[in-house]
Structure 1
Amino acid sequence: MATIQRGQDAAMKWLKNVGLVIVAVALILGYGVLLWKGPWLLDGSHIRKRDLQPADGVVITGFRTMVVAVGAGILAAFGLVYTHRNHTLAQNQFKHTQQQFELAQRQFEQAQAQFEYQQQKDRESAQTDREARATEQYVTAVKLLASKSDTERLGAIYSLERIMRDSPRDSEAIEMLLATFTREREAQVESDKDWDLPVSAAPESTYGSDYDAAMHVLKEWRGTA
């Protein structure tokens, strides 16, 4: 159906063009005949067909001058109409182009806003993931801080130090936690001394290597905070 419709449209366009050509040729021929034979067709009773006199030449020249002027006026009118039509088409094309540009600009702004919104969502999601990991690491470190293994307690302290640097909002809580840990260790060691109990500490430290590590972290943090 689409092919048939296109064929019919092409045929109608061809017929229209042929019709315009025929009309144009007929007008040109008619104008030529009018310019050539017009004086005798319209005023033949006053113009000689042979042995023309000056008076006949004046009438013929005047008529032909009038016909040429009318033709020039018609051509000028067609030229004005054609120019106006082209000007109107150009204006419409310019308006259409401007509308397309404004539409493309709005689409670009919408895409940019969507991109910025997605970036913000990605940043929020990444921040949420970091906070979740920090919380998980914090809980794990707190559990290991109460371990009986010196290695696990040291790992917990250094893990808490890393969390303090990566998550400043948790630094105050971790600082209080490590301070409490050191005070409890000091109290425990002093209590063992009072009861003459053996002090479980490394030879190089009074309160143990984990205590020293906690104190080092606190000093470093307070020095940079």
Structure 2
Amino acid sequence: MEGVSPWRRVLQLAVLLTVGIVTAGLVWVLGPGAAWVLEHFDGVDDLTGKDLAAALDAVRGRALAIATGLIALVAVYYTARNAATARQGHLTDRYTKAIEQLGSDKLDIRLGGIYALERIARDSARDHSTIMEVLASFIREHSRDDVAPDHEGPVTSPRQPLRTDLQAALTVIGRRVVRQDLPNRRIDLTGAKLTGALLFGADLTGVQSPGPRPAVDLYEVVGVPAEWMSTPEEAGGETAGEPAGE
């Protein structure tokens, strides 16, 4: 998750500096500065006695009113900042828990982590690309694991479907909010084995393909973009089996 941005640090320093200046000015105006303000801003320099005291009190009253307004603005700022900090802290906790779930040896817990990450990506645009990178890394690292398929019942295809958790991660990538992707940064699936994946309706804009066959087995992957379906000869690779679509 991202930390405090530089512009926010500058804003915080500016607010603190403003508060310091206003506080010093208020102390000065409430003291000897009231007479100076009365003379140079109000143009009054011929009062004496009770009239002078009343005029000075009026100057101090205006200063207090201005200070009260500024204090209210500062309070609103810090309230909003604290709310944003609390929200970011909550997102960080959710993210940490989801990452822990992703590393579980239980399928249902891994699935919970994947869908929790999807929800965070939708709730926080600033974390969207990081989460897509995490899911892509999960697919790359585990798509070639020597693990028995977790599907039950007969399989109509001669090849097993993609492992359930990998399919879930791929589905999340395929239905992400594409406009939240960082410009010029592709979701890297290089080296992933996606045999049996279902990509119906997926938006793979900006997704880096696993690479030319045979580096990645793309046989029977459904809904793959045209550039992923080039033959081994077109991709410059070696034949790893029957052509796609047979």
Q: TM-score, normalised by structure 2?
A: 0.45
TM-score for both structures, normalised by structure 1 = 0.48
- More relative contact order in 1 or in 2 (CA 8 Å, sep 6+)? 2
Radius of gyration: which is bigger? Answer: 1
Larger fraction in helix: 1
